[in-house]
Amino acid sequence: MNTSSSGATFVLGGARSGKSRFAERLVAATGLERHYVATGRAWDEEMRARIEQHRTDRGDLWTTHEEPLDLVGCLAAVDGEKHAILVDCLTLWVTNLMMAERDMAAEFAGLAAYLPTARAQLVIVSNEVGLGIVPENSMARDFRDHAGRLHQMIAAEAANVYFIAAGLPLKMKG
């Protein structure tokens, strides 16, 4: 992991690929105060259970911040040279932005512009959703397209980019 104060690490992978566990290990290795920015919303009972399991798995070494929409504002509030911040995950953030009918391009540009200014060590997780079949409905295609554009922007700004498959990291940048 890049140890300079200006480089974010971006971790991509499919569902249940091991990307969150890998990202948590990266943050733990920094030795810095651990902050977890959760973008997920408990839309149903299954998601509530997943969120609770993630909290339990992380334990009390982490300070959790739940922020479904104002990701940049949350990062700015937590940012500090002695902090490592894990954002999990961008695709849930995209869903929340779509549901709230936010200006996707402006939100994405805001996050991309913030990354080089961060003082904390940032590790950002997202689901790679563009490797499968073309979704059958317009909303799902819009989601896939939004996620793809956001991933390109974040990867361009990140010092390190990893793709995780079957729990194995492939370093793509850095």
Selected catalytic residue, list 35, 54, 146, 151: 54
The helix/strand/coil state of 103 is: coil
Q: How far apart are CA 144 and CA 134, in angstroms?
A: 9
Active site residue 151: no
Q: What are the backbone angles phi and psi of residue 156, rounded to the nearest 5°? A: -65, -35
Q: Cα-atom radius of gyration of the chain, to the nearest Å?
A: 15
Using CA atoms, how far residue 79 sits from 33, 114, 128, 139, 174, in Å, is 11, 11, 26, 34, 22
Residue type, 21: R
Active site residues: 54
